[in-house]
Amino acid sequence: MGGDRLENKTSVSVASWSSLNARMDNRFATAFVIACVLSLISTIYMAASIGTDFWYEYRSPVQENSSDLNKSIWDEFISDEADEKTYNDALFRYNGTVGLWRRCITIPKNMHWYSPPERTESFDVVTKCVSFTLTEQFMEKFVDPGNHNSGIDLLRTYLWRCQFLLPFVSLGLMCFGALIGLCACICRSLYPTIATGILHLLAGLCTLGSVSCYVAGIELLHQKLELPDNVSGEFGWSFCLACVSAPLQFMASALFIWAAHTNRKEYTLMKAYRVA
């Protein structure tokens, strides 16, 4: 009788432990899957943000398409020697958009041909974009934009460089974290996901830093180059994608770290319970 009771008690203990262990695995697996989905969405948003040209948009009245002055501004905008003041003046006047890699303006299609002095309608315009070269990305900003004798503005210079570099660092950290997460799946262990969570946390900080640097840089630029009275500016959807990507990275990081840490803690408790 005593042996039967002991056997039944042992069977019940093993069954209850297995049931609890299954519930634990389901909980952690669900958190892991949700974190992976959030990580994937944030990566897509970050990549789209980096590759598009709508971090900041200007809205201005349509310009006369036959003006020699306008054509001169267009030519200076697309030239390799355009300085910060030159291309920003064009952005202000021609519904410009700015990304991390390129700057774009909206100009008439027939800008190289004679046309009567009439206002250009929406179907007569085309977007022209110019890429920032690596030299321009790391070029110093001046206290008085366009005036090389005014001295270097270190704050704006480093803000510009950070807003360009940090998104790529963020994207790289997330990709590296994804590789570690894949290794965790292959090994059937949640322990490596702590590193994945930490990498996503660093990626979120980099994304947040990039967004902050961009906002600060735009505000400082507009203090030095004031917008004309009939021109308005606003942050575009590319900037919004970066803003959304940051909290997604933080949430994914929290889920990865929670799943790995709690799984390790409860596994230790269950192991002790099983031994007892």
Chain-centroid distance of CA 77 in Å reads 27
Mean predicted confidence (pLDDT) in 243-267: 83
| Domain 19-275: top CATH class | mainly alpha
Q: How far apart are CA 249 and CA 145, in angstroms?
A: 36
Please tell me the predicted confidence (pLDDT) of residue 259.
81
pLDDT band at 67 (very low <50, low <70, confident <90, very high): low
Looking at every residue in the chain, the average pLDDT score rounds to: 79
Give this prediction's pTM.
0.80
Q: Is the four-CA dihedral 145, 146, 151, 156 of positive or negative sign?
A: positive
Q: How far apart are CA 231 and CA 248, in angstroms?
A: 34
Helix or strand run (H / E) with residue 129? strand 125-131
CA dihedral 101, 107, 111, 114 (to 10 degrees): -170
Q: How far apart are CA 189 and CA 211, in angstroms?
A: 35
- Residue 73, amino acid: I
Q: How far apart are CA 29 and CA 25, in angstroms?
A: 6
Condensed to tens digits (0 to 9), the pLDDT of residues 170-193 reads 999 999 988 887 877 777 666 678
| Greater pLDDT, 156 or 30 | 156
Cβ-based neighbours of 163, under 8 Å, separated by 6 or more: 100, 210, 213, 214, 217
- Does 260 have pLDDT greater than 70? yes
Condensed to tens digits (0 to 9), the pLDDT of residues 110-151 reads 655 444 444 444 447 788 888 888 888 888 899 888 888 888
Please choose, from the candidates 30, 14, 8, the residue with its C-alpha nearest in 3D space to the C-alpha of residue 190.
Answer: 30
Percent of the chain residues past pLDDT 90, beyond the cut: 38
Q: How far apart are CA 184 and CA 29, in angstroms?
A: 12
Q: Is the four-CA dihedral 195, 200, 203, 205 of positive or negative sign?
A: negative
237-275 vs 193-224: helix axis angle to the nearest 10?
A: 160
Q: With beta carbons less than 8 A apart as the criterion, state whether 239 and 56 touch.
A: yes
Q: How far is CA 119 from CA 57, 107, 122, 232, in A?
A: 21, 11, 10, 20
